Amino acid sequence: MINTAALFSTTFLPGQAGFDTDAITGLAEWRLDTPMLFKLLIGADAQTVAWPIYGDGEDCPCVLAAPMAQAQVSWQALSALMDKPRDAAAIVARSAISALLAGGQAWLILDCVQLIPHDIDTPETAAALEALRAEAQALHSALQRGDREALAPLLAAGSAAPATGYWSASAIAQLANVEELGAEELPFLQGLEVVRWKEDALCYEVSTAGEPAVTGLVTPYGRWIVPLSQRYVDLCAHDAEEGWITFATADAPDAHGVLDLNGTVVLPPAPGALYVISPHLVQQIDADGASRLLRLPDGALLIDRLNNMCEREDGYIDIERQTDNDDERNVCGVLDKTGKVVVPPAYSSVQDFGTKKKIAVVSQRIAGRFLFGLINSQGELLAPCQYEAIDSATTSSPPKVRKNLIFAIDAQGLACMLTLDGKQAFTPLYPPAHHLRGVAVQSDFLYVVKDGMAWSMDFTGQLLEQFDTVENFKAAITAQLSEAMGLSKKKPVRRRSFTPAQILAKADREQLRAMAALLLLGDAALAARCVDITLEELAEDDPEEEYEGDTPEAACFFLLWSTAADALGHGTTLDWKSVDEVPRIGQHIGLPALRDFRWTDREDDDAMAEGLTAIAAHLAPHQLRLVNMHGGEDTYYLGVVRASDASAFSKLALQAALRPVLL
């Protein structure tokens, strides 16, 4: 969808007897902005009314309405002040406005709902409509005074232009979603070659059979955004989502310019290529490779000699400074979407900023080494690039924050913690005990080496407990990791399994209800319903399906959990990437104890493990435990049990060939 302002006419207003959406007629439209003429015509007597074209607008005022007679008088007064038309196109355009207004129905409707970035039934939308009405009143007053300066954009307007909009009865198309139609349905496409449908521009790209390189853009309702008569080539609507279209002309195919989504030229063609970076920025590259960053829509030069601009995961833009030689060290920086320099191009890399702490890891190549530091989103270097490593999940992620501290290894290989303002929390004295940062740093302590022995150390630099020699410590870690990754050579234990018929043959409803009660916080009635649903589904199951467990009842245990989760709302399944669902866990597991859960201490780069720990901590005062039915997988099968039932739950889960984890 392209946000569009539109003018309609109607005999009756919504809520009045006789109002009929089928009787609405279209007058004018303009993409991405509300033209000055639309505001002037809605005038001093504008009122807010509902507009049932939008579902939320059926009972809520969301558009402006004014008597058509007032709009007709205003247009006549404006026409008397306007400059003489400069060409035939201007004459036709003004005649179209006069004719459409003269044939309009009793009420003029200005619909700019799509241009207000708020839901309809909100105070923000009401305030935006009030501001628009104030603009309309001010323009009406200027017209009454004959204030040519205030009305200047309108007085010189020619054909379809930002000040006046595009006038055509085809604007009625804005009452529905604009979508691709079959070319055979559209008379204005007959005799043309349809190159492709451009979804982001909501247009067909078309050409003639004789000149396939010359293309135009036309909407499904016949509005020519780029007429073929312009003779544009290399017409690229790939960046229409950002609000712009790049083009060249058949006479100068190596010079490129920029159009807006109404087809208005905002940057005339100039030698070189153009690449839209954001709604506010475009990169211009000369034939010799020289590159610069220009501002949209005015084309002002922002930064010269830049390379490789691209958008990042955090919404900022990576840049590289062009150099006069092949030395590409320390040339990376970051801009915001308006082109403001956030991080100057003086680094070898700039990782993403955190969503909460707004801190990023930067690196510089110094004396043949890559060293790391910290910078904030104001461009202030918090920690100079003097660290061998700074902890983050990936080479592009924000720093990982634990208890408002960041793990780092200094240039001498010693472990330390940095505060959020880049200072060392303690003087580094000991190297980390393992090369894997996920081992060396835990949630509230470090593993370090002192005199050949592995120690734990808190985040203030205090040694806590001595463990074993470094070699034995590393060997134990390697063994644990191998087992967790399934690399150990233990023979798998063969488990018994049972078909649905075998489970049903041995089903003892009382025993199964006792098992279900563990999953449903002791609710006997809900447990009985859970068992009934589970057994009914088993009876309809694939007869060759098999479920693991020491006994048929144990094999049924996971099925009981599935019913409790899916049918009764007492559990849920999340995968390892679902960390953003943690704050909404109360919507997934319908228990009163989770309704007020808030993950208030969430840090940048926190993963599912930290989220589940937060949920478990919230449940603990309620004497409840969060459980993962089957640990060691990327999927979490979550439920909640009473703390007093935890031991019995674990025993049953193990018998059912599950690996339960109680948090």
Structure tokens, 355: 């969503």
Three-class DSSP category at 590 = coil
Pure H helices in 12-81? 36-42, 68-81
Q: Give, as one character, the DSSP assignment of residue 496.
A: P
> What count of other Cβ atoms lies within 10 Å of the Cβ of residue 480?
12
Q: Rounded CA gap, 568 and 564, in Å?
A: 5
Separation between Cα atoms, residue 532 and residue 251, nearest integer Å: 78
Residue 249 phi/psi, 5-degree rounding, is: -110, 155
Q: What is the pLDDT of residue 640?
A: 84
Helix H or strand E segment including 303: strand 301-304
Closest CA to 465 of 475, 456, 474, 478: 456
Cβ atoms of 34 and 136 closer than 8 Å = no
Q: Which two tokens stand for residue 288?
A: 């010799």
Taking the C-alpha atoms of residue 456 and residue 402, their distance in angstroms, rounded to an integer, is 16
Tally the C-alpha atoms within 13 A of residue 347's C-alpha that lie toward its C-beta.
24
pTM of the model: 0.68
Residue whose C-alpha is closest to residue 208's, from 229, 237, 186? 229
Cα-Cα-Cα-Cα dihedral sign, residues 611, 613, 619, 624: positive
Residue carrying the six token digits 């930067």? 362
Residue 483: per-residue pLDDT: 67
What does the pLDDT read at residue 13? 94
State residue 72's pLDDT score: 96
Distance, CA of 97 to chain centre: 40
C-alpha–C-alpha distance, residues 2 and 202, integer Å: 8
| Residue 158 confidence (pLDDT) | 66
DSSP reduced 3-state for 223: coil
Successive 10-residue mean pLDDT values, the chain, 663 residues: 94 93 95 95 92 87 95 94 84 91 94 93 93 95 94 80 92 92 89 92 93 94 94 89 92 94 94 92 90 92 86 90 72 91 92 91 90 94 94 88 92 94 94 85 89 92 90 83 59 69 82 80 84 86 82 77 75 76 79 81 74 84 81 75 81 68 73
pLDDT the model gives residue 499: 87
